[in-house]
Amino acid sequence: MSVTPQIATAPVLAARRHRFSAFLLDSLLFALLFAPVHLLSSGEERTDGPTFEAIVQPYAGNPDWWIEVASTALFAAYFCVQHALWGQTLGKRLCRLKVVSRATGLPPGLGRSAIRALVHPALFGLPYVGPPLFFVNALAIMVHPKRRCLHDMITGTMVIDLSGPARRAGGGLLFGLGLLVSLLAALALVDALLLT
């Protein structure tokens, strides 16, 4: 009986577009699940439209700031728990991606997942400097040779593609269809939010 040696292969890093698609899917899913909570809001509308102050200080003058804080906390928990347990959120699972520790190749665990999940809201929620830092984090993936964002670098994680090298040649019909549906849903959601 002969045993064939196992050749260790380096994991295939997730493509930027696949990571963006997974985040978009997760964001849409979360927005749909959290929409009933927004019905609890006071109903006071801001008539002045989005201002610079509202963008750089998202909670200033907002009577429903607690809903924004709760939404942010639940959004972070959504990512933290799923990354800690499986290394995948629902969006990453649909896009066949997985978050793993660079050192072990296993899901990052609760501590690293919590830090990783808190980077986005912590950056965006900081008055004045948050939004620019948020975009620096998002743009870091474009310049980093290993396609890593700040939250990946801080926690020692990476996002890998589970579908193998065949996917790199072409995106696949299902992936393209999912991306198209996601973009259309995002446009519909933005339109609905702007009209209310």
**Average pLDDT, 10 consecutive residues per value, the chain (196 residues):** 60 85 85 73 57 62 74 86 93 92 92 88 72 78 82 90 65 60 68 60
Cα–Cα distance for residue pair 121/114, rounded to 1 Å: 12
> What's the confidence (pLDDT) of residue 53?
61
DSSP-derived letter for residue 57 is: S
List Cα–Cα distances, 10 to 105, 108, 141, in angstroms.
Answer: 10, 18, 20
Phi and psi for 99 in degrees, rounded to 5?
Answer: -90, 125
> What's the confidence (pLDDT) of residue 107?
93
DSSP-derived letter for residue 46 is: -
Every domain of the chain and the residues it spans: 16-37+52-195
SS3 116: helix
> What's the confidence (pLDDT) of residue 156?
92
- β-partners of residue 160 are 13, 98
SS3 97: strand
Q: Which residues contact 11 (CB under 8 A, 6 or more apart)?
A: 100, 105, 158, 160, 161
Q: Which residues contact 53 (CB under 8 A, 6 or more apart)?
A: 60, 61
User: Which H or E element spans position 34?
Assistant: helix 16-38
